[in-house]
Each structure stands twice: as C-alpha cells, then as structure tokens.
Amino acid sequence: MIIRKLTILSAIISLFTVSAATAGTLDTVKGQGFFNCGVSQGVPGFSNPDSDGNWSGIDVDVCRAVSAAIFGTPDNVKYVPLTAKERFTALQSGEIDVLSRNTTWTLSRDAQIGLEFAGVNFYDGQGFMVRSDSGITSAMELDGASVCTNLGTTTELNMADFFRANGMSYEPVVFEKADEVVNAYDEGRCDTYTTDKSGLAAQRTKLADPDAHVVLPETISKEPLGPVVREGDGDWADIVRWSLNAMIEAEEFGLDKGSASSTCATTGNPVVARLCGKEGGNGAALNLGDSWSFDIISQVGNYGDIYEANVGASTPVGLARAGSPNASYKNGGVLYAPPAR
C-alpha cells in the first residue's frame, strides 16, 4: 500500500517535470496583448521617460515598431528599465521579450550568452569627453588619467584595449549606473568620461554646464547597437529583424510617416506596394497581418523619421546624420536593409 501510494505520488511529480517545454514568444505575446521591452534607465534620444512616464527615443521606436507590426498600434508595449548589468539576464530569464537598450553586437554576446541580435539601429563608436579647460585635444594625451565609465558594457573592454595598445596607464572608475558616472565626472572625480559617442552626446545634456565639456575626436571602437532577442525562437527574431528592416527600406523608397497613406493609395512601384502590404504576402510569412509594415511606417515612421525626431541635429542630443555611418548607403553611410520580399 505504501509502495502504491509512492508510485502514484512519483507519477504525479514526473508529470510536472515533462511540461517544461515553452510556447513560442509570438503566441504568448498575442495571447497577453502586449510584450515586454527592456530599455535603459534614461539615455536621452535612445530611451528616456518624460515626466508622465511616456518613453521616447530611437530604441523605444524599435519596440513601438514591433508592437505596430503585431497589434496594429505602437502602444502595446510594457517598458522595463534595466541597468547594463541586468539586461541580458532579464532577457534570458524571459522577463523581457525584446532588449532595445543601446546594446553592442559582439561575437561573444551573440554566440556565448544565448542572445540573438536582430539588426543594427544605430552605428556608434566609443569616445572620450573631457573638460574644455583641461586643454586636452586628443585621446593620446590621456596617459595617467582617471577614466569614469559604467559597468557591464563593451566600454570597459575597449578602454582596456585602447590604453594597453598605446602603452598608456589609467585608473578605471567603474560605476553600476550611468547617472552616478555623470555625477562623479561632474564632481571632478575623473579626468575623462568614456562611453559610446552617442551616449556622451546624450549624457552631456545632464551635466551642470554642458558647454564646458568637449568630446575628443578619436573613436576607439566599433559599436553597432541594435535590438536583441532570446536565442532559440527564430520566428520572434524574424519579426523584430524585419520590423527594423521595413523602417530602413521605407526610407530608401521614400515612404515616410506623413505621406504613407497617400503614397500607398496611388503607388505603382512594386517594392512600395509590398511595404504597403498590398502585394507579396510578407505578412503571412511572418505570421502577421498584411498591413504590418504599413502600420509601422504610418504610426512610428521610417528610419529617417525616428532618427531626426530623437537624435538628429535639431534635437538636444544633436547628432548630425549626414556623413555619419547612420546615413543611408546611398548617401555614403552603411545603413542598408535586405529587401523585404
């Protein structure tokens, strides 16, 4: 009798152990009506909340594009602010479904820690910011400097490489959160603040006197930043990848947020017609509605729209697009989307 009881008990328990398999992310997301998007704790122009808690930025717009593609509205996103240190664990553990938090695409992250990069939404490089009155004009003059930066980024490795390659010494002062780095640099703890140049431009707006600081000309690394998803769910990765690609291709073919509706009504160009969801069956291939890319373009915008609105020359971040790698390949940049067909 005891043995029989134990047998039944162990059978019940073994039932629990088999049900470890998980459903696809897209089905789960459609079922719950929203998805979780990991963003920064506040980097102006990339992902930054306003006083009402509404998020905006070029990274946020990637999340909004994915929401528009799935739900037809850009607002079915729950934003989860994360430190650089927390971000990958949050994605691995399923706390978030997309990580869009100025994250650099590297080999070890792609291959070793269970991540899949879905593309590049901003081409960046690491630079140094110093006080104008220090008289420093080049990163090669930084021998012996105290360098402030934050934890858990490629920045730490790049600066170690840079100083080692040039035979210079330095003192790394590494903080967990970006705000504390800015604070400590502002208080004079460090001679220079290093992170991606876009990050420097964004964080500079938080300094007590932004005009008293200059970004040095050297760029010491390649930092392709882009959205990331969990490895092992190819369908979900495809949706994120092509939401981004659709925005880039829309710009290339002159389809923008303001004129999307009118252009789509009259177009005779088959590429534009596919982006408008009138031809080609792209939606079915991604398990989405046919209007997925039209919804992205008409509600979030094309790549040019989101760039100029968030980080362009007219914004406080003020990163001119012309001449940078983020310009379209037709204008001498490296922004190039595979064809959406």
Partner 1 sequence: MQDRNLSLSNILFNRSIQGIFYQIVTLGLVILAIIYIVDNTARNMVARGLASGFHFLGVEAQFDIQMTLIEYSPTSTYFDSFIVGLLNTLLVAGLGIFVATIVGFAVGIARLSPNWLIAKLAEAYIEILRNIPLLLQIFFWYFAVLRALPKPKQSLEFADSFFLNNRGLFIPDPVFGEGGVLILYSFIAAILISIGIAVWSKQRQNKTGQTFPVFYSSIGLLISFVFLSMLATGFPVTFDYPELKGFNFKGGIKLIPELVALTFALSMYTASFIAEVVRAGIQAVSLGQTEAARSLGLNPNQILRLVIIPQALRVIVPPLTNQYLNLTKNSSLAAAIAYPDLVLVFAGTALMQTGQAIEIIGMVMGVYLFLSLMTSIIMNLFNRFMRVAER
Tokens of 31: 């079922």
Told to check if 6 binds partner 1 by CB under 8 A, we report yes
Q: Which residue has the tokens 């739900």?
A: 71
- Per CB under 8 A, the list member of 7, 89, 166, 261 interacting with partner 1 is 89
Our CB check for partner 1 shows the closer of 6 and 285 to be 6
- Per CB under 8 A, the list member of 188, 211, 262, 314 interacting with partner 1 is 188
Q: How far is the CB of 245 from partner 1 (least distance, A)?
A: 23
Q: How far is the CB of 118 from partner 1 (least distance, A)?
A: 15
Told to check if 85 binds partner 1 by CB under 8 A, we report yes
Told to check if 135 binds partner 1 by CB under 8 A, we report no
Told to check if 180 binds partner 1 by CB under 8 A, we report yes
Torsion sign (Cα): 283, 238, 302, 228: positive
At residue 86, what is the residue type?
Answer: E
Told to check if 187 binds partner 1 by CB under 8 A, we report yes
Torsion sign (Cα): 306, 85, 197, 181: positive
Site map (CB under 8 A) of partner 1, residues 205-244, x = contact: -------------------------xxx------------
Told to check if 139 binds partner 1 by CB under 8 A, we report no
How far is Cα 59 from Cα 165, in angstroms, rounded to an integer? 32
Told to check if 8 binds partner 1 by CB under 8 A, we report no
At residue 318, what is the residue type?
Answer: G
Told to check if 305 binds partner 1 by CB under 8 A, we report no
**What does DSSP say about strands 115-117 and 228-230: parallel, antiparallel, or unpaired?**
antiparallel
138-149 b/e (C-beta count within 10 Å ≥ 16 → b): ebeebeebbbbb
Told to check if 15 binds partner 1 by CB under 8 A, we report no
How far is Cα 90 from Cα 135, in angstroms, rounded to an integer? 42
Tokens of 146: 């105290």
Choose the binding region for partner 1 from 43-51, 61-69, 179-187, 199-207 (rule: CB under 8 A): 179-187
How far is Cα 232 from Cα 229, in angstroms, rounded to an integer? 9
User: Rg of the Cα trace of the chain?
Assistant: 23
Q: How far is the CB of 38 from partner 1 (least distance, A)?
A: 14
| Start-to-end Cα distance in the chain | 65
Q: How far is the CB of 232 from partner 1 (least distance, A)?
A: 5
How far is Cα 195 from Cα 129, in angstroms, rounded to an integer? 9
- Per CB under 8 A, the list member of 4, 17, 33, 268 interacting with partner 1 is 17
Q: How far is the CB of 69 from partner 1 (least distance, A)?
A: 24
Q: How far is the CB of 42 from partner 1 (least distance, A)?
A: 17
How far is Cα 293 from Cα 283, in angstroms, rounded to an integer? 8
Cα–Cα nearest to 61, from 301, 317, 230: 301
The set of residues, in sequence order, having a beta carbon less than 8 Å from that of 197 and lying 6+ positions away, is 124, 125, 126, 127, 215, 219
- Per CB under 8 A, the list member of 161, 166, 261, 341 interacting with partner 1 is 161
- Per CB under 8 A, the list member of 13, 23, 107, 265 interacting with partner 1 is 13
- Per CB under 8 A, the list member of 173, 207, 214, 340 interacting with partner 1 is 173
Within 10 A of 247 (CB to CB), how many other CB atoms are there? 28
Whole-Å CA distances, 103 to 170, 213, 264, 281: 25, 25, 34, 32
- Per CB under 8 A, the list member of 49, 72, 81, 152 interacting with partner 1 is 152
Told to check if 174 binds partner 1 by CB under 8 A, we report yes
Q: Which residues bind partner 1 (CB under 8 A)?
A: 1-2, 6, 9-10, 13, 16-17, 20, 84-85, 88-89, 92, 108-109, 112-115, 142-146, 148, 151-153, 156-157, 159-161, 163-164, 170-177, 180, 183-184, 187-189, 191, 230-232
